[in-house]
């Protein structure tokens, strides 16, 4: 993307070399990945297959979810929460990311009902 006409919002400079590492322009979105995260990502099973759906839930969201879901949907959210990885927030079964089909079988919930509930 050509950012020559945009105003620079932020500049990241290497404190040891003084080299400009990144220029962030107005409207850019940036995700900072720290060394600790890189180490976890490289050592953890997070290689998802393209086109294969997986689920992810953010921690500490149950109170807000409870306000917006039906009782059945909330019960499902609570059931699946025990399968959340504390490391990355991904639903897992046997240390691998779990897809909707696997989770519906584990929880003994009809797949079509579970899929609609999760969408």
Specify the pTM. Answer: 0.42
Q: Are 46 and 19 in contact (CB under 8 A)?
A: no
Q: Say yes or no to pLDDT of 43 above 80.
A: no
Q: Is 5 exposed, middle or buried (0-12, 13-18, 19+ CB in 10 A)?
A: exposed
Q: What does the alpha-carbon distance between residue 32 and residue 82 come to, in Å, rounded to a whole number?
A: 28
Residue % of the chain over a pLDDT of 90: 0
| Segment 2-28 mean pLDDT | 76
Q: Which residue, chain included where needed, has tokens 């897809």? A: 99
């Amino acid at each position: 993307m050509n950012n020559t006409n945009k105003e620079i919002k932020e500049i990241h400079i290497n404190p040891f070399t003084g080299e400009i590492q990144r220029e962030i322009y107005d409207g850019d979105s940036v995700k900072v990945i720290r060394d600790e995260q890189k180490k976890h990502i490289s050592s953890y099973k997070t290689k998802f297959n393209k086109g294969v759906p997986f689920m992810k839930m953010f921690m500490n969201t149950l109170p807000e979810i409870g306000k917006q879901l039906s009782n059945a949907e909330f019960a499902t959210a609570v059931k699946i929460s025990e399968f959340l990885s504390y490391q990355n927030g991904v639903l897992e079964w046997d240390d691998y990311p779990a897809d909707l089909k696997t989770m519906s079988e584990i929880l003994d919930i009809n797949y079509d009902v579970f899929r609609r509930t999760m969408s």
